[in-house]
């Protein structure tokens, strides 16, 4: 398990996401109720997610600009084929964006549910988080493999079209 300083990933999630003190030397926020702390951390998670989404959008925009530049220089493909390629990659980005949003929503729901359960021990809390993220890890791997397969098929289709002389008048 990856460690950040003295805390493991699960301990960091427990601390940041739900306000559970994992180490005795961590100061607690003075003058705040448990609900206030949970709400503050929820806002922080949402802000961090929005930053990530903006970063991914910027990266996608840059990649699409580069792709369009390369396609504009390609004289072997027709405009329709070029547009089909652009639509394919935009579609994959939309699928990935929806997948990330779905996982974020699942994470928020899980952490809200766990925060509402005041009777959980630290070990039960950690095990619930570990199980959830292990399941998501498998989903991520399957999703990435599916996307990679689609991209390989699209690349092969483009190569075959170029070899067959598609796009020539």
pTM score: 0.72
Q: Does a structural domain hold residue 20?
A: no
Q: What is the DSSP string of 67-130?
A: HHHHHHH-SSS-HHHHHHHHHHHHHHHHHHHHHHHHHHHHHHHHHHHHHH-TT--HHHHHHHHH
Q: Does a structural domain hold residue 77?
A: yes
Q: Does a structural domain hold residue 94?
A: yes
- Encode pLDDT of 59-74 as tens digits: 999 999 999 999 999 8
pLDDT at 31: 56
Range of the domain at 131: 43-163
Which is it for the CA torsion 16, 20, 25, 30, positive or negative? Answer: positive
Q: Does a structural domain hold residue 35?
A: no
Total number of domains in the chain: 1
Q: Does a structural domain hold residue 9?
A: no
pLDDT at 110: 92
pLDDT-derived band at 114, boundaries 50, 70, 90: confident
Q: Does a structural domain hold residue 10?
A: no
C-alpha 38/C-alpha 26 separation (Å) is 16
- Encode pLDDT of 79-99 as tens digits: 998 999 999 999 999 999 999
Strand partners, 8: 3
pLDDT averaged over every residue in the chain: 82
Q: Which two tokens stand for residue 4?
A: 């950040």
Share of the chain above pLDDT 90, in %: 53
Share of the chain above pLDDT 70, in %: 79
pLDDT-derived band at 16, boundaries 50, 70, 90: very low
Distance spanning both ends of the chain, measured CA to CA: 58
Q: Please check whether residue 132 is in contact with residue 108, taking contact to mean a CB–CB distance below 8 angstroms.
A: no
C-alpha 95/C-alpha 147 separation (Å) is 9
Q: Does a structural domain hold residue 75?
A: yes
- Encode pLDDT of 138-168 as tens digits: 999 999 999 999 999 998 988 887 777 654 5
- Encode pLDDT of 18-32 as tens digits: 444 444 444 555 557
């Amino acid at each position: 398990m990856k460690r950040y300083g003295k805390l493991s990933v699960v301990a960091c999630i427990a601390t940041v996401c739900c306000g559970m003190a994992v180490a005795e030397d961590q100061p607690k926020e003075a003058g705040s109720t448990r609900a206030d702390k949970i709400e503050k951390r929820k806002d922080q998670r949402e802000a961090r997610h929005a930053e990530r989404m903006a970063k991914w959008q910027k990266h996608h925009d840059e990649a699409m600009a580069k792709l369009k530049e390369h396609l504009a220089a390609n004289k072997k493909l027709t405009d329709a084929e070029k547009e089909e390629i652009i639509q394919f990659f935009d579609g994959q980005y939309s699928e990935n964006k929806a997948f990330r949003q779905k996982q974020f929503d699942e994470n928020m729901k899980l952490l809200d549910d766990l925060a509402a359960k005041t009777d959980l021990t630290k070990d039960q809390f950690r095990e619930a988080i570990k199980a959830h993220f292990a399941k998501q890890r498998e989903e991520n791997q399957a999703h990435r493999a599916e996307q990679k397969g689609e991209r390989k098929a699209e690349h092969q289709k483009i190569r075959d079209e170029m070899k067959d002389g598609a796009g020539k008048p």
